[in-house]
Structure 1
């Protein structure tokens, strides 16, 4: 008898501007993206106080890292920063998948769901700090 594996959940947000410059048209745009990030790092480095400087570097790290969650059943992701439009892709191989996109105050921005498994996406253009509250069976 084949044992059924628990439903696996996957949600990934891809930062279109900072992480995938190759998708954008032209080398000049890529150069501008890199220069913008260099300027942001210079601004952090110029901060005299250690705590705000570290917070600045942490915010830059959040901009550069692809927020990804993969797991089973229920989980809330760590907060992630959206500074330019992204696409949240999600998929499930379980019968029930519900994911709430929440803002930094915990308010639900969008309810995303799949019934019976599959894959979908949601464009997010509003800058801010978000979490994904994922539930699946």
Structure 2
């Protein structure tokens, strides 16, 4: 009986959440252990980027509002479905870059030119998009 209750408490989602928390704790411990201040700060900055909520998220098809970048920016995107097409558009609506992921997963694209952009997304499932400072 106690074993059955433990199985209910530690279900696969709970185990996955526990594993994610353990991984996060280990990542922070690694940053904290860095002796060089600039290396430690860079490590924390990478973690902040990794754990930041997405700028855009949705399911299936969407057009984002325009956004402005003032410095090179890393467009980071991930999809949970087998089809994901992302159009990076300039202020006039012209396609600057056609990006895609086949079969789900994640990818990045560096936007080098400051300006106003928008994104047109066509996906078959849920997706998330981040705008991160370019390295």
TM-score, normalised relative to structure 1: 0.51
Asked if the contact 1:89/1:122 (under 8 Å) is kept, the reply is yes
- Deviation string 1:77-129 (CA, Å, 9 cap, x unpaired) is 11110110110000001010000000000000000100000100001110110
Residues 104 and 67 of structure 1: is their aligned pair in 2 closer, same or farther, counting only changes over 3 Å?
A: farther
* CA RMSD of superposed structures (Å): 1.6
For 1:100 and 1:135, the matched residues in 2 are separated by: 9
Q: Measured at CA, do residues 103 and 67 of structure 1 come closer, stay the same or move farther in structure 2, by a change above 3 Å?
A: farther
Divergent runs of 4+, >4 A: none
Unpaired stretches in structure 1, ≥5 consecutive residues: 1-21, 24-65
Shift of 1:68: 1.2
- The within-5 A match list for 1:121-132 is 121-132=108-119
1:89 aligns with 2:73: no
Q: Using the alignment, how far apart are the partners of 1:67 and 1:76 within structure 2?
A: 15
Structure whose alpha-carbon radius of gyration is higher: 2
Give the distance between the partners of 2:120 and 2:101, measured in 1 at CA: 14
2:75 is equivalent to residue 98 of structure 1: no
The 1-side partners of 2:54 and 2:104 are apart by 22
- TM-score, normalised by the number of residues in structure 2: 0.52
